[in-house]
Structure 1
Amino acid sequence: MSKSILILASGTGSLAQAIIVATQSGQISGNVIGVLTDQPEAQVVAKCAVLEVPIITHPMNSDRKSWDEELFLITQSLNPALVVSAGFMRILAPEFVSTFKVINSHPALLPNFPGAHAVRDALAAKAAVTGATIHWVDAGMDTGKVIAQREVPVLEGDTEALLHERIKIVERGLIVATISDLLASMENNHE
Structure 2
Amino acid sequence: MRVAIFSSGTGTNFEAIADNKDLKKAGLVISCVITDNPLAKVIEKSKARGIETIVIDKSEYKTKKEYEETIYEYLKQLNVEYIILAGYMRIVGDTLLNKYPQRIINIHPAMLPSFPGAHGIRDAFDAKVKQTGVTVHFIDSGIDTGPIIDQVAVPILPTDTIEDLEERIHIQEHLLYPHVLNQLINKMRSNNL
TM-score (structure 2 length as normaliser):
0.92
Report deviation, 1:25.
6.9
Q: Secondary structure at the match of 1:124?
A: helix
Distance between the aligned counterparts of 1:52 and 1:99, measured in 2?
A: 27
Is contact 2:23–2:182 with CA below 8 Å preserved after alignment? Answer: no
Segment of structure 1 superposing worse, 127-136 or 61-70: 61-70
Segment of structure 1 superposing worse, 98-107 or 18-27: 18-27
Distance between the aligned counterparts of 2:46 and 2:22, measured in 1?
A: 12
Is contact 1:22–1:28 with CA below 8 Å preserved after alignment? Answer: no
Q: Secondary structure at the match of 1:89?
A: coil
Letter aligned with residue 103 of structure 1:
I
Correspondent of 2:118 among 107, 116, 119: 116
- Equivalences for residues 2-151 of structure 1 within 5 A: 3-22=1-20, 26=24, 28-61=26-59, 63=62, 64-100=64-100, 101-151=103-153
Counterparts in 2 of 1:27 and 1:164: CA distance versus 1, 3 Å:
farther
Correspondent of 1:174 among 164, 173, 176: 176
- Name segments (4+ residues, structure 1) moved above 4 Å: none
Segment of structure 1 superposing worse, 71-80 or 103-112: 71-80
Letter aligned with residue 134 of structure 2:
A
Structure 1 spans left out of the alignment, 5+ residues = none
Is contact 1:24–1:31 with CA below 8 Å preserved after alignment? Answer: no
The CA RMSD measured in Å over matched residues stands at 1.6
Distance between the aligned counterparts of 1:140 and 1:91, measured in 2?
A: 9
TM-score (structure 1 length as normaliser):
0.92
Is contact 2:134–2:152 with CA below 8 Å preserved after alignment? Answer: yes
Distance between the aligned counterparts of 2:118 and 2:5, measured in 1?
A: 19
Matched residue, 2:186: 184
Report deviation, 1:81.
2.1
Cα deviation per residue 1:44-92 (whole Å; 9 max; x = unaligned)?
1111122221111111115233212212222222222221000000111
Distance between the aligned counterparts of 1:39 and 1:177, measured in 2?
A: 27
Distance between the aligned counterparts of 1:78 and 1:161, measured in 2?
A: 38
Distance between the aligned counterparts of 2:111 and 2:152, measured in 1?
A: 8
Is contact 1:23–1:31 with CA below 8 Å preserved after alignment? Answer: no
Letter aligned with residue 59 of structure 1:
D
Give the count of matched residue pairs: 189
Distance between the aligned counterparts of 2:107 and 2:151, measured in 1?
A: 10
Is contact 1:28–1:179 with CA below 8 Å preserved after alignment? Answer: no
Distance between the aligned counterparts of 1:142 and 1:113, measured in 2?
A: 9
Structure 2 spans left out of the alignment, 5+ residues = none
Letter aligned with residue 159 of structure 2:
G
Report deviation, 1:162.
2.1
